[in-house]
Amino acid sequence: MSRVAIVTGGTRGIGAAISVALQAAGCKVAAIYEANHAAANTFHEKTSIAIYRWDVTDFDACANGVRKVREDLGPIGILVNNAGITRDCMFHKMTVDHWDAVINTNLSSLFNMCRPVIEEMRDRQFGRIINISSINAQKGQLGQTNYSAAKAGEIGFSKALAQENASRGITVNVVCPGYVKTEMIMAMD
């Protein structure tokens, strides 16, 4: 039986590569996107990977989206929290909107996505959760106080969640990539 995998931010950049790799490994993949319809549709046409649209900053949207994936593809065995944004600027010029957007998309989304799947993973005694953080979580980065804080929070979240669920057959890991040539990185100076 193939495992069902959800990949947030799964139709572009690192997320698209993860979605394709999971599909190649035999998983049924649900690639989640929020805004770029054209890119998501092109991704689906090229890969035939199922795409779903919801906002990972909205808990109810995540719960409803996970429920729909479960109905369409089966029980969720793998969750890759990859969705992320930047709103880079020096801290003394940062607005509350810059802060909230990055914290909510990059960190709060982990709660929003993990909470709807964790109980079924615990009941089935199997789950794989992979959170995509950043090298900047470990070293910080000029103009990325919000991003570095959110990505560092992902590491702490993952360590605690791993400890809580290891005895139930669930692993939680963090990957901290450096700079990868993606659309998001290429938009930076």
Q: Which residues are catalytic?
A: 147
Per the CB < 8 A criterion, the answer to whether 112 and 62 are in contact is yes
The C-alpha atoms of residue 48 and residue 29 are separated, in whole angstroms, by 10
> From residue 49, how far is each of 78, 89, 182 by CA, in Å?
15, 35, 20
Please list, residue by residue across 151-174, b when 16 or more beta carbons sit within 10 angstroms of its beta carbon and e when fewer do. bbbbbebbeebeeebeeeebebeb
Helix (H, G, I), strand (E, B) or coil at 174: strand
Parallel, antiparallel or unpaired: strands 127-132 and 76-81? parallel
CA–CA distances in Å: residue 93 to residues 53, 67, 83, 87, 106: 32, 40, 25, 11, 20
